[in-house]
Amino acid sequence: MTEKGLPDPADVLPHRPPFLFVDEVVDMVPSKSARGLWRLSGDEPFFAGHFPGRPTLPGVLMVESLAQLGAIAVLSDETYSGKLPLFGGIDKARFRRQVVPGDTLELEVELDQMGASAGKGRGTATVDGKIACQTSLFFVIVPAR
């Protein structure tokens, strides 16, 4: 837990660098919603190849960062102890703005439906208050091991 009483992403998620895309949780209601940050330094390995001379955050990684934040909200609820949420589907993903090195991606996820074995939610990623990505997420919940 951080000083604010919020989980450190690495303490909740099984993901590790270079595939951990949430740096900080800034607000959360377990199984309901979460807000977080992903600070892009420019040193991330994908920027070297996407694209040389014009580094751009791949849209699929924006969606993944939203899914990771949603997983933090799910796994912070004791009901889902020992579980792992996995992608079941992505709907209506829209990319509205280029995200580049030095940007901070502000992530927000609302979980609309939660069950014992699946859930649905919505995510929005912004930079400086401007929407970069919006999507609906569907996930299945499986045993962690």
- pLDDT the model gives residue 25: 98
- Report the run of H or E that residue 82 belongs to, with start and end: none
Residue 31 to residue 22: CA distance in whole angstroms: 17
What residues have CB less than 8 Å from 36, skipping those under 6 apart? 9, 22, 23, 24, 25, 26, 69, 72, 107
Residue 133 to residue 6: CA distance in whole angstroms: 24
- pLDDT the model gives residue 4: 80
- Could you identify the residue written with the tokens 């074995």? 117
Amino acid at the residue 82: G
- pLDDT the model gives residue 1: 75
- Could you identify the residue written with the tokens 């800034």? 26
- pLDDT the model gives residue 2: 75
- pLDDT the model gives residue 136: 98
SS3 23: coil
- pLDDT the model gives residue 5: 86
- Could you identify the residue written with the tokens 């102890």? 81
The answer to whether 118 touches 70, Cβ cutoff 8 Å, is no
- pLDDT the model gives residue 40: 98
Annotated catalytic residue: which of 26, 50, 84, 136?
50
Neighbours of 50 (CB within 10 A): 14
Neighbours of 129 (CB within 10 A): 6
Q: Is 50 a catalytic residue?
A: yes
| Chunked mean pLDDT (size 10), the chain, 145 residues | 87 96 98 98 96 97 98 97 96 98 98 96 98 98 94
Q: Which domains does the chain have, with CATH numbers?
A: 9-143 (3.10.129.10)
- pLDDT the model gives residue 61: 98
